[in-house]
Structure 1
Amino acid sequence: MASGRAIRRRTVLLLVVAVAAALIITGAVPNPFPTIWAWVSEERPLADDLAWQERLGARPAAATAAGDALAVAAGSSAQLYQRGSGRPVSMAQTDGWEAQWVVVAGSGAGSIVISSPRGEDGYEVRDPDTGRVIHTDDEAVAVWGFGDAWLDLRCDDRRACQLRGYQPDGVEPQWRTDLPGQREGLVGGNPELAGPQSVGSNRIPDDIAGPEPVPPLLGFPVTRRGDDVVVVVDTRTGQIRQELAQGADERVIVVGGRVIRSVMRRYDGVCVSEVTGYDAVTGDPVWGPSPYHLWSTGDVGCEQREPPVAGGAAVAVRSAEGEPMILDAYDGRVLWSGELGEQVEALSAELAVIRDEDGFQRRGIRLGGDGALLWERRADEEAALAIAQCGVVVSDRHPNRVYVWDKQTGEDRLSVSTSARVLACAPDGVLLTEGRSIGFARFDGLTSPESGSDSTPPEVDSK
């Protein structure tokens, strides 16, 4: 009986669909599908009072401020948009250019945009003010962009590589260095090095800070005779300072002008950690060994899985008792120490954002001085947060809202109700995205780069 009723229901449904289709085809009733499709495809505002909003041909994947423009990668192409108007920088390239990744180097008017054609080695360097190509390379497999330099890596078929260093305003290498061993995963735009991790989420990208000054030392992971090796390179001269093999229970990172080695061993079922800071030139220990936990471990065993959060020379660690701490990687000084339940949520060379045990209260702590409390704010425990050059970027939840807090005062530079993701943070606002749309939310009181004026953001209560 049940199967018979189901058959009758399906038969009636098919008859209704057939009759409706016949009426639409004959014109007896209007076709509702174009209206439905127009409603589905309609571009909705990402937020109120945006400076501009544009719909792209593909979902945007990344964006960075470059001069007075925004370099946006979407699908298999990239484009430069004027921050003031949202119009393409080059009207001759309204659809952008083919690119599999985009990197920005330099800062302000000295910025450049580097991108690689899809499926090919090499890259193009563009002027963000015009979109014009000013330099090309046909062999590099990786590029790193910094606020005052950029590096590229050329490798042969056997993965033997040469590293080269440039100034942002130059196209001739300042130095060249042959890396020992074979490259390990060093491909594309800003591939991961042997250093700390960036703080990111699905709502705020991990490169939201934009190009930072190049550190004095960088660690390049390579393999040599089956061993994992970190090659420490002086970024001013290209000189190789050390080649450090990593054992199965060791991790080496380069941060704050020091080489930090973390050793995690298991004794009688207990994971015991030691962290030591070394001089990159002599190899002598400068501080430690100290019983800090630098890397996070998995649920089982003592394997070190996730590198620490850091900003400049400031590194977040845990004490042997599990309390959060911030160290100066250069000399091992404790810059801040907290209590169980607290978490270092974001970190820069000058500022730490601490989340209290309740998960809602955030505190801004000054680093490099007296460790004073700068401000206190509240945000949802599920909020995403990162420190960028423009301020502390917060993607809040319950309700959905994007903030940019002033790093020194905690005051709102921006507060906008939106469910969109933050894609980039510029000196005058943030780029939001949802679906294929992007929109620019300007900081309170600021005008477009073309007009060159600004004003003081409104005051709120702060510490």
Structure 2
Amino acid sequence: MASGGTPRGYIAIFVVVGLVVLALTRVFNPWPQVWNWVTAAGPVAEGASQWQIKLSGSPAGVTIAGDAAIVEYRTRVESYGLGAGVKLWQSDADWASVAGTGPDAVVVTGKLLTKGYQVLDPRSGAVRRSDNAATAVWAYRDAIVDLACVKGGECELSAWDPRGSRPLWRVSTGGIGFVLDAANPALPGTQPLPASQVDDQVAGRPYLPGLMGLADGGHVRIVDTATGKVVQTLTPKPAERVTVVGGRVITVTGTAGDGTCYYSVVATNPGAGTVWQRDGLNLRTADNGSSCKQTRDPAGGDDVVLGVDPVGREELIAAHDGRRLWYGAKDQDVLAVNDAHAIVRSADRKTLSGRSFSTGDVTWRRNVNDGASAALTPYAAIIANASPRRIIALSPAGGRVLVDARTEASVFATGPQGLIAVDGRDMAYLPYK
């Protein structure tokens, strides 16, 4: 058998050596282009995307702000035009959030362990307003709220129009703020239901609630956001969980007995007393068992809370007045909910149905595979089907198909005209049909 390499093998070795020499001598470095070619992915959603780009890293979050897509990383934020995916600007930032909607949207950015923040234009990146005192910032669809604390612990809460230059109101909150920092620190409220292949923040930021609850050192200060006043300060007992939903202060009390936990829910309007109450309603604020230790806020969306009755049937309650918006049959479960709609899975796990709270009717049905999940946004109901993995976006009100794409990507953001899907470092924009 003959020994040695083939002429083609020698040529390949010669080419590689030549490229290495060029790179080392800084005459020409081909390796970034070669690496991009090696790692090039196929289409994120073949036949469904308007454009697809490769990001410089895996994003921590993506939000649609007007006609721009805002991409958040650990140490910077980038903006891309929705029309063609062209990069518009980049800024150093440890956190970012989007306030406002449509043409009034802005990007709020800041750095960890540094007071203050900036309000940027989504298209140009120009600074519209700067602050150098706030320790925490909450972005909403119609407002920006910040918390500034001085030495000694005295703090002040301020509300702003997203594009405004003067505060709508300011109120002293007393000593608070040392555990509240960066963008959108957790406040007592509802928690969204999880969904596979869908980012937790896919629905974007909510509207400014009528009441905000600021938890601090065992106390909860209730702020009326219409008047800019602290209207109540609560000190929950060890067996209580206080949350703020739908303009109501909801107190869940868990009492241990007979090897189980008995629950009572009371909703109050600060200054006006009890609005509604229910015994036996489990809002799943405690782990299973008889300890009754409540460690989390109730699941739900916007002004609706998800509960379970004593026989294990799920129900959706309007936090404002206690009305039962939906009462499930045995083994039915809610996959997603907001203040207008809910997505319910059938007992056999083969069908999802969309329900309207305004009419009380089923607005659409969709057959799915076992393991499917769902999410609701202001613009679309998202279904993530399994085996094969497929993303389907429907009109929440009528079930019209907006997007139907076979993809391994996750949905990160939705807007009025389309959604953003991300697979690793590949980001694509899928317009609605």
Normalised TM-score (structure 2): 0.89
CA contact (8 A) 1:183 1:221 kept: no
Compared with structure 1, are the counterparts of its residues 111 and 59 closer, same or farther at alpha carbon in structure 2 (3 Å cutoff)? same
Distance in 2 of aligned mates of 1:25 and 1:178: 77
Distance in 1 of aligned mates of 2:178 and 2:375: 29
Residues 1:442 and 2:423 are matched in the alignment: no
Letter in 2 for 1:392: A
Partner of 2:187: 193
Residues 1:238 and 2:238 are matched in the alignment: no
1:44-443 pair list within 5 angstroms: 44-49=42-47, 50-89=49-88, 93=89, 96-156=90-150, 159-183=153-177, 185-201=179-195, 203-223=197-217, 228-282=218-272, 284-300=273-289, 301-369=291-359, 371-443=360-432
Q: CA deviation at 1:157?
A: 5.0
Distance in 2 of aligned mates of 1:360 and 1:159: 54
Deviation per CA, 1:47-83: give whole Å up to 9, x if none.
2132111112211111111111111112311111110
CA contact (8 A) 1:100 1:119 kept: no
Compared with structure 1, are the counterparts of its residues 408 and 314 closer, same or farther at alpha carbon in structure 2 (3 Å cutoff)? same
Q: CA deviation at 1:154?
A: 1.1
Distance in 1 of aligned mates of 2:59 and 2:11: 42
CA contact (8 A) 1:424 1:430 kept: yes
Deviation per CA, 1:90-148: give whole Å up to 9, x if none.
xxx4xx11111111111111111111135522111011232211111112121111111
CA RMSD of aligned residues (A): 2.5
Q: CA deviation at 1:402?
A: 1.0
CA contact (8 A) 1:295 1:305 kept: no
Q: CA deviation at 1:443?
A: 1.1
Structure 1 unaligned runs (5+)? 1-18, 445-463
Distance in 2 of aligned mates of 1:280 and 1:221: 16
Q: CA deviation at 1:434?
A: 1.4
Letter in 2 for 1:61: A
Distance in 1 of aligned mates of 2:12 and 2:200: 54
Letter in 2 for 1:347: V
Deviation per CA, 1:158-212: give whole Å up to 9, x if none.
5542111111220221111122343363222111101111234452222211232
Structure 2 unaligned runs (5+)? 21-30
Distance in 2 of aligned mates of 1:81 and 1:264: 48
Normalised TM-score (structure 1): 0.83
Deviation per CA, 1:291-328: give whole Å up to 9, x if none.
20013432443222332222332221111222111111
Q: CA deviation at 1:379?
A: 2.4
CA contact (8 A) 2:66 2:104 kept: yes
CA contact (8 A) 1:310 1:316 kept: yes
Larger displacement relative to structure 2 (36-45 or 106-115):
36-45
Letter in 2 for 1:406: S
Letter in 2 for 1:72: V
Letter in 2 for 1:363: S
SS in 2 for 1:171: coil
Distance in 2 of aligned mates of 1:290 and 1:368: 26
Query: How many residues are aligned here?
Result: 413
